[in-house]
Structure 1
Amino acid sequence: MLDVHRLRLLRELHRRGTLAAVARALSYSPSAVSQQLSLLEHETGVRLLERVGRGVRLTAPARVLVGHADAVIERLERAEADLAASLSEVTGTVRVASFQTVLLALVPAALTRLAAEHPALRVEITQLEPEEAFAALLAHDVDLVLGEEYPGLPRVLEDGVDEEDLAHDGLRLALPRHGPLARLPEDLAALAGAPWVMDPPASLPARWAVARCRAAGFEPDVRIETPDPLLQSHLVETGHAVALLPDLLWTQLHPDLRLVALPGDPVRRLYTGARRGTAGHPAVRALRSALRDALERARTGLSRA
């Protein structure tokens, strides 16, 4: 019988790439990880690792074994979820990775609901961009990811991930009301010479925004790069830049700026992702429910504003 713990170490090596990275993630020494994988080789009777320079890589049989390890670990997670569901109280720790607009608009209200309904549940949150977050999810570093998908930039669904739609969030042109930029026309195609604030170039929001500007016939003059939507909004409000920003941001802010609809009314898709084995866990279900409730409350408040 193969040892599940050693299978997990092999799986972690496949995902993280080095013995040192596996050791850091699981609080072992590299020599301890190497020793356990040597024992797994003895159990299987096949060579699982081969030296490459100062590191190692998985052999073809090892990659076959990783596929089975994924299935075994998913099945064990389902068993843990079923056991947790049989209890009367939602307990334990759920680890969440999110990006900033959701953290600002939805997470505080979701945490308030969870504290009232499930006081024994501990929620840990880290801010990560979606690509990093899904890598962390599959590496078992987090249990739930809040992700986003922009028009024209579809994301490939990772194997082993259970996705659930959260919202479709409108995207608009944000223009200043005051200062020299207040005279800018409310037409994206006329903003070729305007100063822009955008997310860093490799990010999904920036890739979509640049593509939208190019489709309108110009290359945006990006003066300021920041992943902080609060700073982006403030720079527009104070007359220093224009931007393309999501509606969800305005559930917490009431800035003095102009929001202009874009042709076609583009939206970004917001969703949550969990590993298939943990999607049925009461803690994950409770958090997803709290986020949906927070979204409805935020939209109700926005419609009344």
Structure 2
Amino acid sequence: MFDLHRLRLLRELKHRGTLAAVAAALSYAPSSVSQQLSQLEAEAGVPLLEPVGRRVRLTEQAEILVAHTEAVLARLERAEADIAASLTELTGTVRVASFQTAALALVPAALALLRDRHPLLRVHVTQWEPERALPALQARDFDLVLAEEYPGSPNPRPAGLEQQDLLDDPLRLAPPRPTEVPDTDAREDTDAREDGEAEAGAPSAALRALAGRPWVMEPEGTPARRWAVALCRDAGFEPDVRFESTDLLLHLRLVEQGLAAAFLPDLVWSGRRPTVALHPLPRGRRTRRVFTVVRQGRTHHPAVLACRAAFHEAVALNSGP
């Protein structure tokens, strides 16, 4: 019989990449992790790790063990969910990771709902971008992740994770000039013009008009950056990206000060009226998908169900009447 604790260490190594990362995540000494994995090799009777430079990688037999370990852990999570469902009160801790605009626009309202309905449930929230949060979800650092997907840039769909759509978040062009707040919501005015403008090619023309202006975008390598640069290139120019940040509130401030053009999602307003001029984007490139992700073993856990319900209600509250 294999030792489950050692199997979990092997699984952690697959997800975290190095013995040092496993040791840091679990508060062990690296030598202790190495010793436990050596004992697991003895139990298995085959090599489980092979050196690659200064690192190690899992052998084919180790990958087989990890696959079975994932199945065992998923079954144990379902057992945990069944026990939680048998209780009259939700207790314990649920760990949530969220990207910035969702954290600002949706998380506070969802937390207030959960506090009122489930006062014994402790919700721990960390602001992490999806490219970091989703691997951490697989490694069991989180129970639920709020993630985003940009048009034309589908995310990888790792095995063992389950997605549920939360909302479609419109993306809009914000030119770099100060502007007075109009009497009507700029988004409503934009929506009313989109169909006619799209047929006339106005969205692409508005983009091309900003070809020589400075831009603020998210850092290189992020899905948002790839989407934004591709959008500009399709309009016929290479954007002059002078400012890089994952903080969309900084993007907004630079637009407000007339220092840069940006692409801003509607969630950045958190239900408030826009403070800058907004223009529609070309068809098929106007909306990012926002969704929640959990491990399949926790899909029916009462705490996860409660969190997902609260986020759906927060979306309705954010959209207003």
Under a length normalisation based on structure 2, what TM-score does the superposition of the two structures give? Answer: 0.88
Give the structure 1 partner of residue 212 of structure 2. 193
| Number of matched pairs | 296
Supply the distance in 2 between the matched residues of 1:178 and 1:137 (Cα, whole angstroms): 41
DSSP-derived class of the 1:102 partner: helix
Given candidates 272, 297, 304, the residue that maps to 2:317 is 297
Supply the distance in 2 between the matched residues of 1:143 and 1:79 (Cα, whole angstroms): 15
Structure 1 residue 232: deviation in Å?
0.8
Amino acid at match of 1:57: R
Matched, 1:169 2:169: yes
Aligned CA-pair RMSD: 1.7
Matched, 1:57 2:57: yes
Deviation digits for residues 255-296 of structure 1 (CA, Å, limit 9, x no counterpart): 431011122161000011001111111111111111110000
Query: What residue ranges of structure 1 are gaps of 5+ in the alignment?
Result: 180-184
Matched, 1:224 2:247: no
Amino acid at match of 1:126: T
Conserved? CA contact 2:178–2:255, under 8 Å: no
Give the structure 1 partner of residue 183 of structure 2. none
Matched, 1:40 2:40: yes
Alpha-carbon spacing, 1:178–1:151, altered in 2? closer, same or farther (3 Å): same
Supply the distance in 2 between the matched residues of 1:228 and 1:299 (Cα, whole angstroms): 22
Query: What residue ranges of structure 2 are gaps of 5+ in the alignment?
Result: 180-202
Q: What are the residue-to-residue correspondences of 1:106-255 with 2, within 5 Å?
A: 106-176=106-176, 178=178, 187-255=206-274
Give the structure 2 partner of residue 276 of structure 1. 296
Matched, 1:260 2:279: yes
Give the structure 1 partner of residue 69 of structure 2. 69
Structure 1 residue 15: deviation in Å?
1.5
Supply the distance in 2 between the matched residues of 1:280 and 1:61 (Cα, whole angstroms): 32
Structure 1 residue 230: deviation in Å?
0.9
Supply the distance in 2 between the matched residues of 1:132 and 1:52 (Cα, whole angstroms): 24
* Residues 19-28 or 286-295, more deviating: 19-28
Supply the distance in 2 between the matched residues of 1:227 and 1:49 (Cα, whole angstroms): 37
Supply the distance in 2 between the matched residues of 1:152 and 1:117 (Cα, whole angstroms): 38
Alpha-carbon spacing, 1:175–1:56, altered in 2? closer, same or farther (3 Å): closer
Structure 1 residue 109: deviation in Å?
0.5
Under a length normalisation based on structure 1, what TM-score does the superposition of the two structures give? Answer: 0.92
Give the structure 2 partner of residue 285 of structure 1. 305
Conserved? CA contact 1:237–1:255, under 8 Å: no
Conserved? CA contact 2:271–2:319, under 8 Å: no
| Aligned sequence identity (%) | 60
